[in-house]
C-alpha cells in the first residue's frame, strides 16, 4: 500500500463529510458479508472456497464495491490453479523473512489477478501444543518469530494493494473445540505470550484482523471488548477493521460495541438486529459510524494507492511463483539426523523409494487453507526427474512393510516417505459447522486436532522392517508440526522433516537429497523427549488455562532436555561461531558475532539470539528468542552477523501498573545455532536508568 500520510489525512476529511450522508441501513450493510449462503447452497453445491466471497457489503449508491475475499496461508484459495507454497509452518522453518515477504508479494499478485481486495493469509496463532490440528497454518511456537514472519507476509501482500488479514485474535490453539472453548489466561500471559505477534502485525500495517471463534476469559473473541477495543484499537492504535471468523463466533449485535466491525459471512446479527439495537438505543450510532469509518478508510486507502504493476491471469501459478515455491521448500526442509548418509551420490547407486506418501500429492489440510495448484511434484516424481539417469531407481508405494523390506534389501539406499495427511490433522469442519453433508464415514472424521503425536502405526512398522534389512535408510517425514520420533529415530541413518512442502516439494526434496542444495531449515518448535513434558491439552475442552510456559520455555523451566530443541537443524556443512560482542548505544544494544562456514560446501546458517532472564526478580522464562538472522556463506567464508535490540525487548508486563516494565537487573545475551547450543556474551547487559 503506497498512499502517504497526506493522502490518509485527505481520506479522513472525506469520510468526515461522507459518513453523515449515509443512512443507517447503508452503514449497517457495510458491516457484514453477503450472499455467501445463496451461492454455497445452490450454485456452488456446498463446495467451499470456489469463488471470492463478499466479506463486507459495500454500498452501491456511492459506488463502493463489497470487499472481495479469499483465504489463505499457503496460497490463494480459489480454484484457478494458484501457486501452492509450502505450509506456513514449513516457511517458519526457513526463518527467512525476506523470502516470506516475496511470498507475500506473489500471493498479493495472484490475489489481484483474481480481482480480490482482501486476502486472509496471515495465520499467526501460537503453537502451544503439537496436537493442534492447524499448526501447519502458523509459523511456530515462539511469539517473536511468529511476529517477524507474519509481518513479512503482511508487508509483501499489502505491497500489491490487497489487504491482508491477521488471524485469529486470540489464543486460538485448539481446533475441535474452537467454537466453544473458553481460554482462561492472565493479563500478563496474554500480553507476553499470546499477543505480541498480533501487535507486530498491527505495527506492520495490517489492514484487518479476524477475531477467533473461541472465548478468552469468558467472552467470545468477536465480543471481547478487552481484546478488540481496549487493546487492539485503543492501546495499539489499530486503524483498520476487525472481521469475524466464518459462520460461528458472533452471537449478537452487541459485538459491535465490543469492537467487531464486520460479521462474516452473512448479517445474522449485523443486519436487522443491529439496526434495531441502534434505533432502540442499545447500541450507539457512533459505534456503527466508527466501524464504517474503519472499513471505508481501508477500502479507500487500498483502492487509491498506485499499483506497482499491472495484473493478469498469466500471473496465476506463473513460473516465477512456482520457482519461489521451490525455493521456499528447499529453505524449509530440516535435516534432523545425518550419520554420513546424505547427500546421496549420483554414481549409479541403487535406490528404493518407499512409503504410501512417496507418490501422493500431500499439500496440507483440506480446510480453508486448501489450495489447488496446476500440478504438484510428489517426492517420487521429484527424485525420478532429478536422478533417474544417474542412479537406479525402484519404488513401492504400497506401504506394505514386507514388500518394502524386500525391495530395500535389493538396493543400496532406501528413501522412506512417511507422515500425516489431511485426515490426521487440519481444520475441523465436517459436521461441526453443519454446512457440509458428509456421507463417507471416514471423511467425516478428517482433520481436526491430532489423536496421536506419533507416526501412524503402519509407518513405524515400515521403518522398522526396512531398518532390519541393514540398507542405508533416509526417513522423510511429512506433517505440519512436531512429531514424536523416539520409537524409530535411532534406526534411521538420516531424517529429514519435509512438511507439506507445496507444489514443488518433490523437486526441492530431490535437490537436497542429492546435494544440489544444502539443507538449512531449523525447527520452529521443540520436539519433546516425552509427551508428559508438554502442557495440558484437550481437543474437546470446554475450558482450559493457558500459562506462561510451553515449548522451549517450559522445558527450560522444568529442566528437561527435549529430543530436538527449538531452532535445531543440521547442514551438509559446518558453522563456527566466534565470541558474541555486546555494545550499548543509548536505548539500543548491538550484538555482533562472527560466523564461519568451516565445511567444504556453501550453506546457510540461521543464527539465533536469546535474552536471558536468570537474574529477574519475577517468575520469567529463563530465556526468550529476541533475534534471528539467516546468512548464506560460501565454503571457508566468514561473516559478521549483527543484531540490534531495543531495551523494550527486555520488559515484562506489570499487571498492577498495567504497563510494561524494565527490571533493573543484568540480562544475559546468548547467541548460537539453536536454543540449546548458545554462547553467553562475556558481559551481561545492564541498561542505564
Binding site for ligand BGC (CB under 6 A): 71, 120, 167, 245-246, 368
The residue at minimum Cβ distance from ligand BGC is 368
Integer Cα distance of 502 and 75 in angstroms: 9
245 in catalytic set: yes
| Burial (Cβ within 10 Å: 0-12, 13-18, ≥19) of residue 93 | buried
- Between residues 480 and 506, which has the closer beta carbon with respect to ligand BGC? 480
- Between residues 167 and 450, which has the closer beta carbon with respect to ligand BGC? 167
Integer Cα distance of 345 and 590 in angstroms: 43
Residue 28 C-beta-side C-alpha neighbours within 13 Å: 21
- Between residues 120 and 332, which has the closer beta carbon with respect to ligand BGC? 120
- Between residues 243 and 630, which has the closer beta carbon with respect to ligand BGC? 243
Residue 57 CB, nearest approach to ligand BGC (Å): 17
Active-site residue identified among 245, 273, 359, 668: 245
Q: Beta-carbon neighbour count of residue 259 at 10 Å?
A: 28
Residue 651 CB, nearest approach to ligand BGC (Å): 31
Q: Convert 599-611 to b/e letters by CB count within 10 Å (16 or more is b).
A: beebbbbbbbbbb
CA 78, 79, 85, 89 torsion-angle sign: positive
Residue 149 CB, nearest approach to ligand BGC (Å): 17
| The C-alpha cell that represents 81 in the structure block | 490453479
- Between residues 167 and 511, which has the closer beta carbon with respect to ligand BGC? 167
Residue 128 CB, nearest approach to ligand BGC (Å): 17
- Between residues 51 and 191, which has the closer beta carbon with respect to ligand BGC? 51
Strand runs labelled E in 569-637? 575-577, 581-585, 588-597, 603-612, 623-633
CA distances to 182, 327, 361 from 503, in Å: 37, 11, 8
Is 133 in contact with 449 (CB distance < 8 Å)?
yes
Integer Cα distance of 634 and 620 in angstroms: 39
Q: DSSP characters for 125-144?
A: ----STT-TTGGGS--S-HH
Is 617 in contact with 666 (CB distance < 8 Å)?
no
- Between residues 141 and 245, which has the closer beta carbon with respect to ligand BGC? 245
Residue 118 CB, nearest approach to ligand BGC (Å): 10
Beta bridge partners of residue 97, listed in sequence order: none
Residue 291 CB, nearest approach to ligand BGC (Å): 20
- Between residues 368 and 520, which has the closer beta carbon with respect to ligand BGC? 368
Is 50 in contact with 43 (CB distance < 8 Å)?
no
Integer Cα distance of 683 and 196 in angstroms: 28
- Between residues 198 and 246, which has the closer beta carbon with respect to ligand BGC? 246
Residue 134 CB, nearest approach to ligand BGC (Å): 8
Integer Cα distance of 446 and 438 in angstroms: 11
CA distances to 135, 291, 455, 528 from 482, in Å: 9, 40, 11, 9
- Between residues 248 and 304, which has the closer beta carbon with respect to ligand BGC? 248
Residue 450 CB, nearest approach to ligand BGC (Å): 17
Residue 36 CB, nearest approach to ligand BGC (Å): 10
Query: 622: which DSSP letter?
Result: S
- Between residues 71 and 261, which has the closer beta carbon with respect to ligand BGC? 71
- Between residues 125 and 397, which has the closer beta carbon with respect to ligand BGC? 125
Residue 267 CB, nearest approach to ligand BGC (Å): 16
Measure the N-to-C terminal CA separation of the chain; round to a whole number of Å.
39
Report the run of H or E that residue 175 belongs to, with start and end: none
SS3 letters across 435-487:
CCCCCCCCHHHCCECCCCCECCHHHHHHHHHHHHCCCEEEEEEECCCCCECCC
What residues contact 437, with CB distance under 8 A and at least 6 apart?
46
- Of the candidates 267, 335, 268, the residue with the CA atom closest to the CA atom of residue 513: 335
Angle at 538 between CA 533 and CA 540, to 5 degrees: 170
Residue 483 CB, nearest approach to ligand BGC (Å): 23
CA distances to 75, 188, 588 from 643, in Å: 31, 27, 10
| The C-alpha cell that represents 506 in the structure block | 518433490
Integer Cα distance of 119 and 53 in angstroms: 11
Is 188 in contact with 142 (CB distance < 8 Å)?
no
Residue 122 CB, nearest approach to ligand BGC (Å): 10
Integer Cα distance of 322 and 106 in angstroms: 10
Residue with cell 539453536: 674
- Cα-only R_g, the chain: 25
List the catalytic residues.
Answer: 245
Amino acid at each position: 500500500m503506497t498512499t502517504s500520510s497526506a493522502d490518509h489525512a485527505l481520506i479522513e476529511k472525506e469520510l468526515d463529510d461522507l459518513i453523515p450522508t449515509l443512512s443507517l441501513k447503508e452503514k449497517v450493510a457495510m458491516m457484514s458479508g453477503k450472499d455467501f449462503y445463496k451461492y454455497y447452497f445452490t450454485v456452488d453445491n456446498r463446495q467451499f472456497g470456489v469463488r471470492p466471497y463478499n466479506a463486507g457489503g459495500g454500498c452501491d449508491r456511492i459506488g463502493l464495491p463489497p470487499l472481495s475475499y479469499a483465504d489463505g496461508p499457503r496460497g490463494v484459495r480459489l480454484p484457478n490453479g494458484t501457486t501452492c507454497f509450502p505450509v506456513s509452518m514449513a516457511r517458519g522453518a526457513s526463518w527467512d523473512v525476506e523470502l516470506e515477504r516475496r511470498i507475500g508479494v506473489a500471493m498479493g499478485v495472484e490475489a489481484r489477478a483474481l480481482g480480490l481486495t482482501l486476502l486472509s493469509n496471515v495465520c499467526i496463532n501460537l503453537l502451544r501444543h503439537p496436537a493442534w490440528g492447524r499448526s501447519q497454518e502458523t509459523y511456530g511456537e515462539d511469539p517473536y518469530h511468529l511476529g517477524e514472519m507474519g509481518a513479512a507476509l503482511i508487508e509483501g501482500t499489502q505491497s500489491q494493494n490487497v489487504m491482508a488479514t491477521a488471524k485469529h485474535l486470540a489464543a486460538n490453539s485448539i481446533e475441535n473445540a474452537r467454537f466453544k472453548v473458553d481460554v482462561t489466561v492472565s493479563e500478563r500471559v496474554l500480553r507476553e505470550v499470546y499477543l505480541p505477534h498480533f501487535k507486530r502485525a498491527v505495527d506492520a500495517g495490517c489492514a484487518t484482523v479476524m477475531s477467533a471463534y473461541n472465548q478468552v476469559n469468558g467472552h467470545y473473541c468477536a465480543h471481547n471488548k478487552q481484546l478488540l477495543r481496549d487493546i487492539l484499537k485503543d492501546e495499539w492504535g489499530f486503524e483498520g477493521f476487525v472481521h469475524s471468523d466464518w459462520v460461528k463466533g458472533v452471537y449478537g449485535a452487541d459485538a459491535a460495541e465490543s469492537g467487531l466491525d464486520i460479521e462474516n459471512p452473512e448479517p445474522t446479527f449485523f443486519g436487522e438486529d443491529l439496526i434495531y439495537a441502534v434505533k432502540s438505543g442499545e447500541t450507539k450510532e457512533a459505534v456503527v459510524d466508527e466501524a464504517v469509518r474503519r472499513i471505508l478508510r481501508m477500502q479507500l486507502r487500498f483502492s487509491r494507492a498506485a499499483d506497482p504493476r499491472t495484473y493478469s491471469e498469466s500471473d496465476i501459478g506463473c513460473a516465477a511463483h512456482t520457482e519461489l515455491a521451490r525455493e521456499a521448500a528447499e529453505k524449509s526442509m530440516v535435516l534432523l539426523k545425518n550419520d554420513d548418509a546424505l547427500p546421496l551420490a549420483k554414481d549409479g547407486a541403487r535406490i528404493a523409494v518407499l512409503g504410501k506418501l512417496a507418490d501422493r500429492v500431500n499439500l496440507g489440510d483440506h480446510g480453508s487453507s486448501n489450495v489447488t495448484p496446476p500440478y504438484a511434484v510428489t517426492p517420487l516424481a521429484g527424485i525420478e526427474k532429478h536422478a533417474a539417469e544417474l542412479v537406479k531407481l525402484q519404488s513401492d508405494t504400497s506401504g506394505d512393510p514386507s514388500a518394502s523390506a524386500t525391495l530395500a534389501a535389493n538396493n543400496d539406499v532406501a528413501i522412506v516417505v512417511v507422515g500425516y495427511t489431511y485426515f490426521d490433522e487440519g481444520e475441523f469442519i465436517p459436521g461441526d459447522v453443519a454446512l457440509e453433508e458428509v456421507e463417507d464415514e471416514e471423511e467425516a472424521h478428517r482433520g481436526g486436532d491430532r489423536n496421536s503425536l506419533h507416526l501412524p502405526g503402519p509407518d513405524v512398522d515400515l521403518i522398522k522392517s526396512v531398518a532390519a534389512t541393514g540398507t542405508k535408510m533416509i526417513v522423510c517425514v511429512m506433517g505440519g508440526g512436531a512429531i514424536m520420533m523416539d520409537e524409530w529415530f535411532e534406526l534411521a541413518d538420516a531424517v529429514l522433516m519435509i512438511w507439506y512442502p507445496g507444489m514443488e516439494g518433490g523437486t526441492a526434496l530431490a535437490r537436497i537429497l542429492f546435494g544440489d542444495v544444502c539443507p538449512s531449515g531449523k525447527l520452529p518448535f521443540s520436539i519433546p523427549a516425552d509427551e508428559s513434558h508438554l502442557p495440558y491439552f484437550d481437543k474437546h475442552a470446554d475450558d482450559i488455562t493457558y500459562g506462561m510456559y510451553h515449548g522451549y520455555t517450559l522445558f527450560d523451566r522444568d529442566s528437561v532436555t527435549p529430543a530436538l530443541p527449538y531452532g535445531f537443524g543440521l547442514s551438509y556443512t559446518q558453522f563456527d561461531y566466534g565470541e558474541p560482542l555486546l555494545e550499548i548505544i543509548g536505548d539500543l544494544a548491538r550484538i555482533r558475532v562472527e560466523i564461519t562456514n568451516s565445511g567444504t560446501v556453501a550453506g546457510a546458517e540461521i543464527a539465533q539470539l536469546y535474552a536471558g532472564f536468570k537474574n529477574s526478580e519475577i517468575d520469567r522464562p529463563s530465556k526468550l528468542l529476541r533475534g534471528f538472522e539467516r546468512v548464506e556463506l560460501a565454503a571457508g567464508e566468514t561473516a559478521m552477523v549483527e543484531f540490534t535490540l531495543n531495551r523494550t525487548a527486555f520488559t515484562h508486563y506489570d499487571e498492577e501498573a498495567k504497563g510494561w516494565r524494565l527490571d533493573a537487573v543484568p540480562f544475559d545475551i546468548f547467541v548460537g545455532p539453536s536454543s540449546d547450543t548458545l554462547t553467553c556474551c562475556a558481559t551481561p547487559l545492564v541498561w542505564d536508568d
